[in-house]
Amino acid sequence: MKPLQGITILEFSTMITAALASMILAEQGARVIKVEACDTGDPMRYVGTRKGDISSLFAGCNRGKESIKLDLKSEAGQKVILELAPEIDVVIHNFRPGTMETLGLGYNSLGALNPKLIYMAISGFGTEGPLRRAPAYDPIIQAHSGMAATQGSDASPAFIRSLLCDKITGYTACQAVTSALFARERSGVGQFIDLSMLDSGLFFMFPDGFQNHALLDDDVIHGGLLIDILYDLTPTKDGGITVAAANQEMQERMLSAIGLLHLLHDDRFNSMKKLVENLHIFRELVSEKCMEFTSDELLTLLREVEVPCAKCLTRDEVLAQEQLEANGSIGIVDHPHLGRMRIVKAPPRFGGKRLSPSRPAPSHGEHTESVLRSFGLEPNRVEALKEDGVLG
């Protein structure tokens, strides 16, 4: 039995944040019903490599769900949601603040029908302040959260080429929803959860990215950022590797392996504090020595003395790793519309076992009739709603 079996979630969303959150919850056993507009549905369906109305991006964020087409702008469509609400455990959406309230589907409306409801509202910037209604996508939040400045610098920001803030927000939403479900087990009462991408991104970045902005007294001694110490490519004869000798003992083993142990007797580097203060000079000396080795030679030397190091793998090399095979991380599934498809299985092992992959990502509106009938809507009413254009 999966841990969230018996929990039912209504998802109203486009793109990544809410979709990823509810997909993770679906992998853990929740029933997730994705409510999509009747016209094109979630635009993520059509981004990048795809077959028909399912892209690989959409499939990766929406497996395990049922999809219904419903016109939320119509009174009849809103009435359908109000009828479903008493049987729902969680609502999750990523619409701008005020949108669901305008539709009559905000927390006050649905919570009045179901006091046990967990209502997760994801927004770009929050429900108050000058940016509350501003549109937000991942690069916008990377810019506002300091992620771009940390990845590059204040003077020359750089973006992480991944939907990082979207995904961080999705993971944060998951954790908050499961916490709220746990609280409900004890209190019997649901609650409203307000979550912004900006807060999620900043919370994620702050411990390491804002080290020099946390301590505020005048006698603070500023040092090098951990991210500036660890994240660098060590050049070799034929390219480069990454080395993470993160403490003095590891530094000693690394220097001994490459023939530079004498540097630890140099007054500039004979303590971790001094080494960090003179890191630029130290790195130049180490880099010059490492250029005498090929990448494979250097990896062999460092691994023999248990210094963390790695070649930066290509995507094909990532998927071919023996470690992933040993972990059972990758699966090949047969999607009814996409054909053979590679997936990454849900990371947590419950009771030492991986959860089996959930149902494939749905086609647009694939489950409209079956879902509504499972909630007790009569077949003739479902047909009438379809004829009126309320259902797709």
Report the sign of the C-alpha dihedral through residues 173, 179, 182, 188, in that order.
Answer: negative
The dotted CATH code for 234-311 is: 3.30.1540.10
Per-residue CA distances from 131 to 114, 141, 370 (Å) = 31, 12, 40
Q: Tell me: the pLDDT tens digits for 14-34?
A: 999 999 999 999 999 999 999
> What pLDDT, on a 0 to 100 scale, did the predictor assign at position 5?
96
The residues of the chain that CATH labels 3.40.50.10540 are: 8-206+337-387
Q: Is CATH 3.40.50.10540 what the domain over 8-206+337-387 is classified as, yes or no?
A: yes
Q: Tell me: the pLDDT tens digits for 337-360?
A: 999 999 999 999 999 999 988 889
Which amino acid would we find at residue 124? Answer: G
Checking if the pLDDT of 48 tops 90, the result is yes
Give residue 280's pLDDT band: very low, low, confident or very high (50, 70, 90): confident
116 CB neighbour count, 10 Å cutoff: 15
Mean pLDDT of the chain: 94
Give residue 275's pLDDT band: very low, low, confident or very high (50, 70, 90): confident
Residue showing tokens 């998802």 = 11
Question: 3-class SS at 192?
Answer: strand
Give residue 232's pLDDT band: very low, low, confident or very high (50, 70, 90): confident
324 CB neighbour count, 10 Å cutoff: 13
Please state the rounded mean pLDDT for residues 104-117.
98
Give residue 278's pLDDT band: very low, low, confident or very high (50, 70, 90): confident
The residues of the chain that CATH labels 3.30.1540.10 are: 234-311
**C-alpha span between 218 and 70 (Å, rounded):** 58
Q: Tell me: the pLDDT tens digits for 173-195?
A: 999 999 999 999 999 999 999 99
Residue showing tokens 């016209």 = 39
Phi, psi of 33 (to 5 degrees): -110, 115
**C-alpha span between 47 and 343 (Å, rounded):** 18
List, in sequence order, the alpha helices (H) in the chain: 17-27, 56-62, 75-84, 99-102, 107-113, 138-144, 147-151, 164-187, 197-209, 226-230, 248-258, 272-277, 279-290, 295-304, 315-319, 322-327, 368-374, 379-387
Give residue 245's pLDDT band: very low, low, confident or very high (50, 70, 90): confident
Checking if the pLDDT of 224 tops 80, the result is no
Q: Tell me: the pLDDT tens digits for 311-340?
A: 999 999 999 999 999 999 999 999 999 999
DSSP per-residue string spanning 7-60: -EEEEE--SSHHHHHHHHHHHTT-EEEEEE-SSS--GGGGSSSEETTEEHHHHH
Cβ partners under 8 Å of residue 329, min gap 6: 344, 345, 347
Higher per-residue confidence, 248 vs 143: 143
For residue 228 the two structure tokens come to: 């500036």
Question: How many residues are there in the chain?
Answer: 392
For residue 326 the two structure tokens come to: 């040993």
Question: 3-class SS at 350?
Answer: strand
Please state the rounded mean pLDDT for residues 146-153.
93
Instruction: Tell if the pTM clears 0.75, that is, is over it.
Output: yes
Q: Tell me: the pLDDT tens digits for 281-299?
A: 988 999 999 999 999 999 9
Residue showing tokens 């964020």 = 61
List, in sequence order, the alpha helices (H) in 265-378: 272-277, 279-290, 295-304, 315-319, 322-327, 368-374
Per-residue CA distances from 72 to 130, 343, 348, 381, 390 (Å) = 27, 32, 35, 17, 8
Question: b/e map of 270-294 (b: 16 or more CB within 10 Å)?
Answer: eeeeebbeebeebeeebeebbeebe
